[in-house]
Chain A
Amino acid sequence: MLIGIYGLMAKREPIKLVLSINVVSLGLVLFFIGLAYSPEKDVPIMPTDPVDPLPATLMLTTLVVDVAITSLALAIILRMRRDGS
């Protein structure tokens, strides 16, 4: 996450800014996955001693948001070029 934020502060090109935002979001996903990491527990399907499935599901939602946002940002960049700004 910190590397992404550094990128947002130090890079000028819009594409690189979008990439930095993606790095931030990847860091976030890893944080959540790490939150639920517990190797000795069971899979959360018909479980006896399950891992917590919630963080992983939350991250699925966040990943969907990522995809949408990245495409939108790239589209805006293309339009920005066309405007000549």
Chain B
Amino acid sequence: MIPLMVAFPLLFAFVIVILDTLRAKRTLIKAAFLLGVVLPAWVFLTERGREIVGGWNRAAGIEVGISEINAPFIAGELILFTVVALYSIPYFDFRNKKTPKSLALLLLLHAGLMGAFIAGDFFNFYIYMEIASVSAFALVAFSDEKGSKRAAFKYLILSLLASYLFVFAIGIIYMETGYLNVELVAENALPSRELQAALGIAFASLLLKAGVFPLHGWLPDAHSIAPTPVSAVLSGAVVKAPAYGMILLFSALPPRETFREAVMGLAVASVFFGIAGALLQKDAKRLLAYHTVSQMGYVLLGTASMNFVGAAYYAMAHSLFKGGLFLSVGSLGKKSRKLGEFGYRNAPLMAFSVLMLSLAIGGVSPLIGSYAKGVISSGLGGTWKWAVTAGTVGTLVSFTKLNYHLSKGETGDLAPIEKLSALVLALATLCAGLYLGAEPKLSDASYIFAAVLVFFALKFSGVLEREVRGEAKDVGKDVNVLVAVFVTFMLGVLLIQWP
């Protein structure tokens, strides 16, 4: 009964709305919320394999399944979402009328992500990705911060344009092969111009939704302005849905050699651009948001080298540590998010969690980041491996910066759940790493050493003091520019495939 994974959160989302309208007790709403979050995990632990909803034949039915490739995506999302759910109940705290709605939207987001990760055909995947993104737009717009509506609007327009183009590409695939099911498309696809064009269009639109380098313009705003638990889910899980879509796409229509090389180049560019962007940020959550751009580059690198399992494990690792980092930095910096104005000096437990999560994102063994990076780089050829190593050092440099500033400042009172959630995710990265068999390596110490050296060199040279200002007042202008970039990029992708 795999579809129940989607049905439970969907059901309880509506139950919450009804309970709210009936003015039911808060405990009931909380209970409904937690049930909706936890029940899919129970289904995930008991069910395996593939099935077709309603028992129709394969060409007409909707196929769902849990396999080696999507199980890490689902596991990462479930762990992260459970922690975020526990965090968000005291965070929203029924301050105003928005709380039950936020909880319902979070559950819808959960349902959408589950549905997208178990989907076995393109259209179904699109619908669930859309459910997840629509709830994400609304959740970003719910934030009380100034500029949140603008960020949500930018995110909405760009993401929608990408979705429509993705459906357009699905239409071309359907026209050429007559199927929507990923495996049937893979069996029936004959190489043709139209399919290549469809691959290009679908790929470019998923890239925008995943926020990879040239198309990342909406991501730092939306991810940094959202309420803390929402940021954690957005960065940890929502961008993974399009990443899974790319895996589906590439397994249905294997891309050609030149295209794959170009995508790998793009992925490496994204890794380093994200790091450079993060180094120049003064706002802690924006720094983390730029790291999402960088980390999605790794996932794309795995996908483009047809190493789907590697990409899946990296996505899971990223869900765990990025979610944990957003939660801990968000709860440390409640008053101000500017680096240097807050920190963990008076909160040793938080310091421990943040340090561990930083090492995990840098790929230091035996935490899960190193295992995932190992799987990714095992599928790569000679020179590409160096890119992964350089990326490790770069990421560590930027997290040295974060921890340097955090260790100077102090924070206000922290609720126990805030400490606990960060600690749980930090321990999850460790346990998952040990479970998957990452071993301590000596070379990691040298990476850390190099990273600290580079950080202080950069600091004394004064590069880090510069501030990049990219905030235009006019949201329309931003959208114009980003759409133009997107269209140009898509044309570029189509031209690369020209024989």
Contacts and interface: CB of A to CB of B under 8 A. Distances in A.
A12 B153 contact: no
B496 interface: no
Given A65-B130, A72-B137, A76-B137, A8 B168 contact: no
A72 B134 contact: yes
A35 B198 CA distance: 15
B174 A14 contact: no
Nearest to A13: B476
Interface stretch (B21-29, B157-165, B189-197): B157-165
Contact of A9 (B127, B137, B164, B487): B487
B405 interface: no
Interface residues of B, number: 35
Given A5-B487, A24-B164, A35 B171 contact: yes
A55 B180 CA distance: 11
B8 to A, nearest CB: 22
Given A17-B157, A35-B175, A55-B174, A8 B141 contact: no
Contacts of A10: 480
Contacts of A21: 157, 160-161, 164
A3 interface: no
Interface string A21-43: 10011001001100100000000
Main SS at interface, chain A: helix
Contacts, number: 92
B152 interface: yes
A77 B148 CA distance: 11
Contact of A5 (B156, B161, B180): B161
A55 B146 contact: no
Nearest to B133: A69
A12 B474 contact: yes
Interface in B437-495: 473-477, 479-480, 483-484, 487
B171 A8 contact: no
Interface string B133-150: 010011001000011011
Contacts of A31: 168, 171
B138 A72 contact: yes
Contacts of B483: 5, 8-9
Interface string B246-275: 000000000000000000000000000000
Contacts of B130: 65
A9 B174 contact: no
Interface residues of A, number: 35
B156 A61 contact: no
A21 to B, nearest CB: 5
A21 B432 CA distance: 43
Given A69-B134, A72-B137, A77 B153 contact: yes
Nearest to A62: B167
A83 B480 contact: no
B123 interface: yes
A75 to B, nearest CB: 8
Nearest to A58: B123
A48 interface: no
A77 B479 CA distance: 14
Contacts of B174: 35, 54-55
B150 A80 contact: yes
Nearest to A24: B164
A77 B154 CA distance: 11
B167 A8 contact: no
Contacts of B160: 21, 69
A25 B171 contact: no
22 contacts: A5-B161, A5-B483, A8-B483, A9-B483, A12-B480, A14-B475, A17-B479, A21-B161, A28-B164, A28-B168, A31-B168, A31-B171, A35-B174, A62-B167, A68-B134, A72-B134, A73-B153, A73-B156, A73-B157, A79-B141, A80-B475, A85-B149
Interface of B: 123, 127, 130, 134, 137-138, 141, 146-147, 149-150, 152-153, 156-157, 160-161, 163-164, 167-168, 171, 174-175, 180, 473-477, 479-480, 483-484, 487
Given A14-B153, A25-B164, A28-B164, 19 more contacts: A1-B164, A8-B480, A9-B483, A10-B480, A11-B480, A17-B476, A21-B157, A21-B160, A24-B161, A24-B164, A28-B171, A31-B168, A35-B175, A58-B167, A62-B167, A65-B127, A76-B152, A80-B475, A83-B149
- What are the nearest 7 A-B pairs in CB distance? A12-B476, A80-B149, A8-B483, A79-B149, A9-B484, A76-B153, A9-B483
